[in-house]
Structure 1
Amino acid sequence: MTFANAPRPWMTDELQMVRDTARRFFETECVPHLKKWQEQGHVDRPIWRRAGELGLLCAGIPEQYGGGGGSFLHEAVICEEQMRAMVNSFSINVHSGIVAHYLLAYGTEAQKQRWLPGMARGETIAAIAMTEPGAGTDLQRITTSAVKDGDDYVINGAKTFITNGLLADIIVVACKTDPTAKAKGVSLVVIETKDLAGFRRGRLLEKVGQQGQDTVELFFNDMRVPQANLLGGEEGKGFAQLMQQLPRERLVLAIGCAATMQRAVDETLAYTRDRKIFGDSLLHLQNTRFKLAECQTKATIARSFLDDCVARLARHELDIPTAAMAKWWVSQATCEVVDECLQLHGGYGYMQEYPIARMYADVRVSRIYGGANEVMKEIIARAMENQ
C-alpha cells in the first residue's frame, strides 16, 4: 500500500468504479489537450458533453432531474481525480458541486426540471456570479441591482473572476433586489445567456495559474430576465442560501487541494529517487528524506481531517466553522507542501514541463477563492467567541 492509495473509510465498490471512470477520463481525454486549453484560455465545449455521457456531471443530483442519483461522496472522488490529474481547465466543482445544488436545494420544481437535466448531460454549462470589483468576499456590499419591471427584473451591474463564465449557458447571479437592505436585500437570479440583450462577457482574465480555466468579467446593462428565474421564487433569501451552501463548497475546495498535495509528494518522491547528486540518489540525502516526511505527514493529516468532514456532511452535521477550518488549513498546507516539493526539484522545478511547476502556479489561488483564508480564520474566531 502506498500513501496515495491509502484506504478511505467511506470508499465502496461503487465509488471505486466512479473513481476508475473519472481517472481514465481525465488522464486519456483531458490531459493530452491541456496545453491547447491553456493557450486558448478555455476548454473545447465537447469535453463537457463527454463528461456528461460518462456520468461525471451532477453525480450527486437525483435521477429524476437527470443526475447520477449519488451522494457527495461521488462528487468527492470525481473532484479528487480531476485535481490529481491536474485538469483544472474546466470546473466541474462549480457546475456540479455548487450551481446544481443551489438549484436542487432552492429551485422550484419547474426550475429544477428546466435546468438540471441539461447540466447533467453537459449541454448546459453553469456558473455562479457573486464577486464584484468593489465587493470581493463581502457579499452584503454587492451593488448589482435587480429592479422589477412588469414580469421581468431589469439587472444592472458587473461581476468579476467568474469561473466557467466564458462558456456558461446559465449563471446564478447574486443581485440586490432591495438596495436599502444588507443581507436581506440579496437575491439569486438565474440568467440564460443565449441571445440575452444587455448581457456581455468581458475579456478572458490572464491569471498566474489555472490558465486553461476560463475566468471572465460579466457586464449587465438593462438586462431583462423573467421574474420566474428568481431562485426559489422569493426575494431576499439569497444571502441565507449562499451561507447554507458554503460548508459544502469549502469542503469541495479542500478536497481538491488535498489531492494536489498528495500528487506533489508523489511527483517529488519519484524525482528525488531518480535524480543523482554527489554520486547518489537525491532521496538518500537526509534533508530530502526529512522534507518529504514532513510533506507526507501534512498530506495524511489533511486526508484524515477531510474524511471526518465528509462523514459529518453525510450526517448533515458539517458546520460553517469546521468547513472554514478545512478550507484554510488544507489550502495553506498544500501551498507549503508544493513549495517544499518544488525546492527539492531544484532548477527543474521552475520549468513548466515539470508538473510541480504548474502545481505551484495553480494552487496559490486556493488561499483566496471560496473566501480568503483570513476570512476563514475570522469565521472560526467568531464561533469561538460565541461558545
Structure 2
Amino acid sequence: METNVVLTKPFTIDHNKSSDSNGNYKAPIFLQQVLSLFKNVQLGSDLSRFKLPPTFNMPKSQLQWYGECVYSTGVDLINSINNGKTPLDRFISVVAWSISTTRPQTFGVVPYNPILAETHHVSKGNLNVLLEQVSHHPQVSALHATDRKGNIDITLCHSPLPKFVGTGVEVDMHGKRHLHLHNHGETYEMNCPNFLFRFLPIPGIDWVGNVTIRCLETGLVAELSYIRQSFFGFGSGNRRRIKGKIFDSLTKNVLYKVDGHWDSTVILKDATNNAEVRVIYDAKEVLSGLHTPFVKDPESVWQTESALVWGELSQAIISNNWGKAREAKNTVEETQRIHLRERESKGETWVPKYFTVTHSKEDGWKCSPIQKWVPDAPIATL
C-alpha cells in the first residue's frame, strides 16, 4: 500500500518558484493556455463543476491543502495560544494563528477537488488532524483537529464557491472555523479570506476580503482586511497586505491596530500609544522549514485517504507523464460516478462517517465531529 500513497511538500513562504518577487507568473504562453479554458465561460459563472485537465493540477487534494494549513508550521502556534497568560494574550495569538493559515500558492495550478467520503488523517506531535469530504456538489470539507494533552480542538467547515470574474477566478470561502481552549473555557470563531486567481492585467494569486475573529466568552473581536491590489498592480505597499484592529465589543474600545503583510510580518500597534509596536506574526519563521508528511504505519492507512485515492495521479504529475495522469484522473472520477449510480439505484443516501452535517439557508453548512478526540494517524509529520 505504501508505494501508492503519495505525499508532497507543503507550501512554504518561498514555494512559488515560478513567480517573480511580486508573486506574478512569468510565463505568458502558459497564461494563454489558462485563458483558453475560460473563453466560453460567462462572467459570474459558478465554476464548482468546471473540470480542469491534470496539467492544471498540483499533486495534492484540497483536503490535504486544508490540513496543511493546520498541521504544517515551523513553530507550535496552537500551544503558544494555550500558554497565553491573559485572555488578551491568547486572543492576539489566535489572530496570528489565523493569519498563518493564509498560505502562498503557485499560479496556474490548483489542488484536486476531493471526492465524496475522501479523508485526510495526519498527526504532528500531540496534534491529530482529520478531514472528510462530506459533500461533493456542492463541495464541502470538514476538519477536526485535537490535542488531548493541551485540551484543545479545532473544527472547520469549508464550502468554496469559485466564480469567473472576468479578470480571473475568485473563490468565496464560505464557512466558519472554531478553536476551543477547554482549559480556559474560551471559543474563538472566525472566517477565511477569499482566494483570488488573477489572469489580467498582471497574472498572480492573492487572498482578499474581510476576516472577523471573535472570542465568544470575552467579547474580544478582530476585524482584518486582506487588501485587494489595484487593477494594474500599482501601490506595491498593498501587495498581500493586512490591515485591521482588535477591540472590546462590550466597551467598543479599540485596543490595537493591526498592519503588515501576510507573506512577511504583521505588527501590532497600541491604539493608545503608537510608539508601542511589536511583531505578532513572522511568515518566514512560521512557513519555512516545513516537512513532507510520511507514512509510519502503511497497513493502517484508510482506503479513503487523499494521498492514496489520488496517489497514481500525483505520481504521474510528478513524473510529467500526462497520458498516465489523464487516465488516472478519469479512473478516480468514473469510480465516483459508479458509486453514485449504485446509491441512486438502491435509493440510498450517503452519510458522512466522522461528522454530523446540517445545512440551512440562514446558517449555511455546519459540520460537527462525531468523536471527541481524533485518533493517532498512520501518517505523521515533524
What is the TM-score normalised by the length of structure 2? 0.27
Going by fraction, where is strand more abundant, 1 or 2? Answer: 2
Going by fraction, where is helix more abundant, 1 or 2? Answer: 1
